[in-house]
Amino acid sequence: MKNKGCCFVYSEINKYPLDIPPELDTKIERTGKNGKGLLKKDNPVNSMFFVRIAAFVVLAVAVGVFAWRLNQYSNDIRENDAQIDSIAVSSYLVNAAEKRATPVYPKHEGEVVDTGRIDYPQITDSEKLTQYSLAYPDFVFWLYIENTTVNYPVVQAADNDYYLRRNIDGESNISGTLFLDFRCNRSTFAGHNIVYGHNNQNGTMFGPLKKYMDKKFYDEHSVFYTYTKDSVIKWKIFSAYETDTENYYIQTYFANEAQYGEFLAKIKSDSVYDTGVEVTSKDRVLSLSTCYLYNRTNGRFVIHAVQIGESPLR
């Protein structure tokens, strides 16, 4: 049989190929048992069409997910603002800052007594804070870093997973809630305590912590405060650094005071700069930890602070 063209039709009836003139090449379909026609030749145009459709679907899904996450973050911001407004540390607005003066008591021959009382940014309505703590059994304290967005309640659950993606009401929330490590004693805050929170790119939750890589930022924000319905504690940061989960900086149990002292010396030496703040095995320490995935797969950024004073909340 002569080859008159570059293609042929295979017929179930004839059981042999039929010669086809070249000019009819592009119009020929192959006939199968199901009677449906298929193009004889592979058509790169059609293949590219399906690839483009698939790419469009993937892009549409990605845009949808991004829009959903953006909406979730926006909702979280509104919820966080509502929480701040309900309790409100007044110096969250810099120009409205009010501080309680530290009382000075006379002693023999003109000396003064160190009462341990401190200046602190005032809560707008301490009664609201009392109601808040009674309404939420998991509430531990209110955390505030002056002139930043860190102005949130801190809770504690039976594990370190519950509040990762839940708000203080226990509802699903992509930003979660700041929470105290379940191993810590919320009544005494003895030894080393850790608060965890997400490093949100929109600057909420523990988003500002990474700024402590800059010594200038530290100099302007070297202290923070924790409020309960009864008292306020002032903490001074003595160390700030980037690390990862291979470094067990979240240790809370120590066999003895000496071991605790060694741990404190280690985390102080890890700081990216010298803060000049001293810490001893007699001190209570509060650490703030967040994810920091810019340079390491399981990266973390952490600041450690020592208690430097406490006052009744009035």
CA distance 192 to 264: 9
Model confidence at 242: pLDDT above 70: yes
Pick among 3.60.15.10, 2.40.260.10, 1.10.150.120, 1.20.1250.20: CATH of 65-312: 2.40.260.10
More confident residue, 220 or 75: 220
d(CA 214, CA 182): 30
The whole-number average pLDDT for the span 268-279 is 97
- In the chain, domain spans: 1-39, 65-312
Q: For 187-204, how does the pLDDT look when each residue is reduced to its tens digit (9 = 90+)?
A: 999 999 999 999 987 888
Range 83-87 average pLDDT: 63
Residue 36 pLDDT class (50, 70, 90 cuts): very low
151 pLDDT exceeds 50? Answer: yes
pLDDT of residue 39: 44
CB 178 within 8 Å of CB 197: yes
Whole-angstrom Cα distance, residue 260 to residue 254?
6
Proportion of the chain above pLDDT 70, given as a percent:
69
The reply to whether the predicted model has a pTM over 0.85 is no
- Between 1 and 171, name the one with better pLDDT: 171
Q: Would you state the pLDDT for residue 177?
A: 92
Q: Taking residues 83-97, what's their average pLDDT? A: 50
pLDDT at position 180 over 70: yes
Q: For residues 173-189, give the mean pLDDT.
A: 93
